[in-house]
Amino acid sequence: MKTKKLFIAILALSAFLLTSCGQRNSTYDYLAQCLTDKGVELYGAFWCSNCQKQKAMFGDSADLLPYIECDANGKNANPEACNAKNITAYPTWIFPDGTTKVGVQSLEDISALSSCPLPGEESVMFKAE
């Protein structure tokens, strides 16, 4: 009887682990997509540790960020866009109103400058509109 219960417990745990492993954490998807939709731009370079820190703040949602790679050796590089905007430090954020922020920014500041809500604030933003 104990063996059967143990087997069922192991089977249930295995099923849980198999379904939850590899799942994407989409906590910041809405924020990252909103930044893209509003025309915010994030300039950086693949070798830039602060750029990596900034992206890490978005977790799995970092792939939705409006990221422009400035180093010609980086993935999907667009150094011409960086040169056109005179980007000389990384990361550099450019917001639709023309505000430019250099360095790692808090999610709260990014949200405030872009008018994109943080996770959990989406319903508050929709009610205010």
Parse the chain into domains and list their residue ranges: 29-120
- For residue 9, the model assigns a pLDDT of 46
**Which residue do the tokens 């009887």 mark?**
1
Q: Is the pTM of this model over 0.85?
A: no
In the chain, DSSP finds a helix count (H) and a strand count (E) of: 6, 4
Hey, what CATH class is 29-120 in? Answer: alpha beta
**Residues in the chain, pLDDT under 70:** 1-25, 122-129
- For residue 4, the model assigns a pLDDT of 59
